[in-house]
Amino acid sequence: MKSVVIKNELGLHARAAAKIANLAGRAKEKIWLIKNGEKVDASSIIDILSLGCSMGTTITFAADSKTDLELLRNIIMLAEDGFGE
């Protein structure tokens, strides 16, 4: 589990959510995105967008399985890098 602060001006928007969902969709088990205790499936763009994560929001990523830790690290690096934007 690792927390990240959203630094994109537009927040966690559709393009960024799609990048997360694409990586999370490769996981053997679930990868979760958590904001203020609300936990959603990180492989679902709709679920991610439903959290309404604006710039400055702290989100947490977690994986159900240790076999998905490398994917989880990649998602965290993506978020820390501002989703390549």
Which residue ranges make up each domain of the chain?
Answer: 2-84
The larger pLDDT score, comparing residue 61 to residue 1, is at 61
Confidence of residue 6 (pLDDT cuts 50, 70, 90): very high
- Residue 84 reports pLDDT greater than 90: no
Looking at the domain that runs over 2-84, which CATH code has it been given?
3.30.1340.10
- Catalytic center residues: 13
- Residue 85 reports pLDDT greater than 90: no
- What is the spatial distance between Cα 65 and Cα 25, in angstroms, rounded to a whole number? 14
**75 and 4 Cβ atoms separated by less than 8 Å:** no
